[in-house]
């Protein structure tokens, strides 16, 4: 039986003008973000001292996340994604589990706001103090919204209709990757970002576990489906095997990363509790009764 050929509409050379324009737009956006982030960090360091508000590790994380986000859409990774659904899923995992967390760890909100023009900065300041914004910015609410957004985006873009549209046209394909990266950035900010965005540790652990379930369910559907869910023209040479491998690539790495991070958050919470309350859970430990005097002087003056 001859191998099936894969004819992808947005493959290399199919839309050279659109592909070139989208590449230029992606690189320009990344450069603008990095420049704004760098300017904001420099201003923060000049005001409050180097590394006091945004550490060098956060700056490195933001730069690495930007590079990985660009690399996921170019070069060997892009070519692999053009050849199979599993390659496309590996591309998505890079955005969701590597680029997104690194960008979130960069704590870019304050630096980017400082780099904005004064008029935009004042507008953002007014928006932040508005009552609806204050409610949405509460750490627990913020985290729940981020988790729901990532789960919804992940399922939407892996439904057959939206996925095929992204394969067939470079513009939906770019929108797909932008949505995945943006929601991953948003989702990981309460976990890896500044402390002011973090909900209580138990809430974070529950959020991570709850967000893992939709991804695991989607991976299980793709892995155990008895036949291809997508048209065979957007799959690899062996459509069912390609779909099963893609399901495993979504299922295993997502579960592993989320479990490791949840365990780290939980252990950090336990260490903080042990440091803050070294006597354990009992605030006032029960002390043994004082020993009574062993000498009881009787009426005759003898010791009993």
Are 242 and 268 within 8 A, CB to CB?
A: no
Work out the pLDDT band at 278, boundaries 50, 70, 90: low
Work out the pLDDT band at 46, boundaries 50, 70, 90: confident
Encoding tokens for residue 36?
């704004």
Work out the pLDDT band at 15, boundaries 50, 70, 90: low
Give me the pLDDT at residue 288, please.
53
Could you tell me which residues come within 8 angstroms of residue 101 by beta carbon, excluding any fewer than 6 positions away? 65, 184, 188, 191, 192
Higher pLDDT, 102 or 286: 102
What 3-state DSSP class applies to 165?
A: helix
Give me the pLDDT at residue 282, please.
45
Q: In the predicted model, what is the mean pLDDT of the chain?
A: 82
Residue 82: closest CA among 188, 168, 153: 168
**pLDDT value at 54 more than 70:** yes
Partners of 303 in the β-ladder: 297
**How many Cβ atoms sit within 10 Å of the Cβ of residue 292?**
7
Mean pLDDT for 86-90 is 91
Mean pLDDT for 236-260 is 90
Number of H helices, E strands in the chain: 13, 0
Give the least confident one: 23-32, 166-175, 271-280, 285-294.
285-294
Give me the pLDDT at residue 296, please.
46
**pLDDT value at 129 more than 80:** no
Give me the pLDDT at residue 92, please.
93
What 3-state DSSP class applies to 137?
A: coil
d(CA 125, CA 55): 24
Model pTM score = 0.81
Higher pLDDT, 54 or 32: 32
Handedness of CA 168, 169, 175, 177 (dihedral sign): positive
**pLDDT value at 157 more than 60:** yes
Higher pLDDT, 197 or 206: 206
Angle between helices 160-168 and 170-192 (to 10 degrees): 120
Domain ranges in the chain are 16-276
């Amino acid at each position: 039986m001859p191998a099936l050929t894969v004819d992808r509409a947005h493959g290399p050379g199919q839309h050279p003008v659109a592909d070139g324009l989208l590449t230029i737009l992606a690189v320009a956006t990344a450069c603008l973000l990095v420049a704004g982030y760098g300017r904001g960090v420099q201003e923060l360091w000049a005001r409050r001292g180097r590394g006091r508000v945004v550490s060098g590790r956060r700056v490195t994380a933001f730069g690495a996340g930007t590079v990985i986000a660009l690399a996921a859409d170019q070069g060997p990774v892009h070519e692999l994604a053009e050849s199979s659904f599993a390659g496309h899923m590996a591309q998505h995992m890079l955005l969701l589990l590597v680029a997104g967390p690194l960008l979130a760890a960069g704590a870019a909100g304050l630096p980017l706001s400082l780099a904005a023009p004064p008029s935009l900065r004042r507008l953002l300041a007014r928006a932040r103090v508005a009552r609806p914004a204050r409610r949405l910015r509460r750490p627990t609410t913020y985290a729940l919204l981020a988790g729901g957004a990532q789960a919804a985006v992940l399922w939407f873009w892996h439904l057959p209709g939206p996925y095929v549209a992204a394969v067939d046209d470079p513009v939906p394909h770019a929108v797909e990757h932008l949505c995945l990266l943006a929601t991953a950035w948003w989702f990981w900010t309460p976990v890896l970002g500044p402390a002011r965005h973090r909900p209580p540790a138990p809430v974070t652990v529950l959020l991570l576990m709850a967000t893992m379930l939709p991804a695991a369910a989607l991976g299980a559907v793709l892995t155990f489906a008895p036949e291809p869910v997508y048209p065979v023209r957007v799959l690899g040479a062996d459509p069912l095997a390609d779909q099963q491998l893609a399901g495993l690539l979504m299922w295993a790495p997502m579960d592993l990363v989320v479990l490791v991070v949840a365990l780290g958050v939980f252990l950090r919470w336990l260490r903080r509790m042990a440091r803050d309350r070294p006597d354990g859970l009992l605030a006032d430990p029960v002390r043994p009764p004082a020993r009574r005097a062993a000498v009881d002087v009787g009426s005759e003056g003898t010791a009993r």
